[in-house]
Every structure is written in C-alpha cells, then in structure tokens.
Amino acid sequence: MIKNSTILITGGTGSFGQAFVKRVLADHEPKRLIIFSRDELKQYEMQQKVNDSRVSFFIGDVRDNERLNRALQADVDILIHAAALKQVPACEYNPFEAIKTNIVGAENIINSAIDCGVKKIIALSTDKAVNPINLYGATKLCAEKLFVQGNSYAGSKNTHFSCVRYGNVVGSRGSVVPLFLKQRESGCVTVTDKRMTRFWITLNRGVDFVIQCLSLMHGGEIFVPRIPSMNIMDLVKTIAPECEIEYSGIRPGEKLHEVLISSDESLRTVKHDNMFVIQPQFSWWRKKVSSKSSKLPEGFIYSSDTNTDMLSKDGLNTMIQEMQATEK
C-alpha cells in the first residue's frame, strides 16, 4: 500500500506524525511524505531530526480549504488525518476553535480529498468519541460520522474514507504517564479519582495499526485495536510506588471509564484478528472484512473497566521503555 506512494499527514509534527514518518521511511519505501501542519517551529525542529529528501514540509491549517487543496495537488495517494485540537480543558474553554479544527477541518479534508483524487484517507479518532460528555469527544464523534458518510459523497471516484479509534497513547502530548514520571521527582503525584481506568496503546502500536488498516479498508469502517486497560492506581504503583498521592477530583468533561465500542455499535461490529471493525449502517456497505471475522455477542461493550485484557506492571514498564526509546 505504501511503497512508492505519496502520503500527506495533517498534524504531521505531532507525536503520531513523527512516529509514523520514522516507521514509514524505515520500513515501507514511500515515494514522498508531506508534513502538513501550521507551526513553522515544529516543522523546523522535525526537519532537523528527519533529514530525508523524500520528506517535505507544507505550512497550512485544515481550516483553510484553499491551502489544503494546494497541498493535495502533489498527486497524493494516501492521506492520514491526525490534526486536531485534543486537550479536553482547552476545547471546553475554546469551543468555537475546537469546532473549526475538528469538524470544519474534517469537512475540508473530505471535500479536498475527493476533488484531488486521493485514494485512501484514514482519520484518527479517540475513545472519547463514544458516548461523549465533553466537547472534544463530541467533535470527534461528528468527524467520525463525516468521514464514514464521506464515502457516499465520493460517487464514482476511487476515494475511500475510514477511521481508526483507540485509547490513550503512552507518551503522547498531555499523557498522564510523562506527568507522573515528572511528578515522581517531587515525591507527590496527583490523581483525579482512584477508580479511574483507561485504555493504553504505544505510539508504535498506533502507527502499525494505522498501516495495517490501510491495507484492510474498503471505506466506511471504524477500526478499533484490541488493547489493554489499567486502573490509575496500578499506574501510580508502577511508576511512582514511593510517592504520596494527592486526590484532585474528576475534572469537567472527564469520565471514570472510557468506552471504545458502545452496545449499540457492537450490533454492527465484527472481531477480526487483533482488532474490532465497526461497519457502517448505510445501504452502500456491501463489503466483508474477512471470512474469518466473527460477530460480537449481543450487548457487548468494550469498556476500560470490564476489559478482559488488563495491563500488568511489567507490560506498562515495557510500554514506558518503548516510549523513552522513541523519544531519543
């Protein structure tokens, strides 16, 4: 899928974008990688790390449809949409900005990709899009629905849209893991609620999963990896076992537990290898993921508190070591 292809990554200077570029350059022989983002300093810093003639940097914002169209004139084959405003408190305080980037930006991606003949588009989503209680989650839910239905807007063009939805990324910007590692030095860590659970995935696993989904997608699917969960207190005991704990209370827009597949979605979800695939409800969906895929039991909910795959201390330490190796 990727060999000799031109790939554009929105939000390409972020944690995912940098890991994706590193992996693709090392293992998949792309023709060209285009980093589309709005921060010239981050682009400059990334350019110093990458230093590869196949990588080019394009300053632009997904809110700007004209600029996006210009970037996609480079015969782009694959588009990975990773640009988003994703900090929950920031989105709550700046709701109009979150809507412009996460929803209007998604609409711009869809229209430009169809008009410019991009073949495959994968948008990154989040567990917070399921039964959302904060604006960030609500905007990502809207974006998911736009990308799924975008397939019907493509008409006869060979343009296909799918989404990847996963949980918290160890080591990403805003992750609690680097925060706890930093707080450990002071002897005290802050916890919102000791009952809290979360799904966890490494950056490299997220990158590999997106690449895997590129080869599987027909257009319209939401791909969900099967990943482990962990209670916040087990996280603290692993990272900072000797530290005192200060409880701050659940923040506005925060859940005790996250859900990756709701009971309603499970009715149209199949289990396949290392993932779940949520299939669209629309009449144009006539595809089959695989003859080996199986339906989920009625009432199934993929929630971080009832997940049968709980992350062990050794598993978390392995993830942290991988995070620290990726940062070098």
What pLDDT band is residue 117 in, cutting at 50, 70 and 90? very high
**Residue 102 pLDDT:** 98
Contact yes or no for 13/40 (Cβ under 8 A):
no
Could you list the active site residues? 128
Neighbours of 328 (CB within 10 A): 4
pLDDT band of residue 270 (cuts 50, 70, 90) is: very high
- How far apart are alpha carbons 123 and 21 in whole angstroms? 16
**What are the C-alpha distances in Å from 34 to residues 13, 40, 175, 215?**
11, 14, 26, 20
User: What percent of the chain is predicted at pLDDT more than 70?
Assistant: 97
Phi, psi of 200 (to 5 degrees): -135, 140
Domains for the chain: give ranges and CATH numbers: 6-169+200-226+259-303 (3.40.50.720)
Q: Which residues pair with 116 in a beta bridge?
A: none
Pick the more confident residue, 177 or 303. 303
In this prediction, residue 288 has a pLDDT band, given cuts at 50, 70 and 90, of low
β-sheet bridge partners, residue 295: 270
Give 41's Cβ-side CA count (13 Å radius): 0
Q: Are 279 and 294 in contact (CB under 8 A)?
A: no
In the predicted structure, residue 25 carries a pLDDT above the cut 70: yes
296 CA to centre of own chain: 23
pLDDT score recorded for residue 216:
92
**% of the chain with per-residue pLDDT over 90:** 80
| Encoded amino acid at 302, one letter | Y
Contact of 42 with 15, CB cutoff 8 Å: no
Digit-coded pLDDT (tens) for 181-214:
889 989 999 999 999 999 999 999 999 999 999 9
Question: What is the total residue count of the chain?
Answer: 328
CA dihedral 83, 215, 160, 19 (to 10 degrees): 10
pLDDT, residue 91, reads: 93
Q: Average the pLDDT over 28-53 and give the result.
A: 95
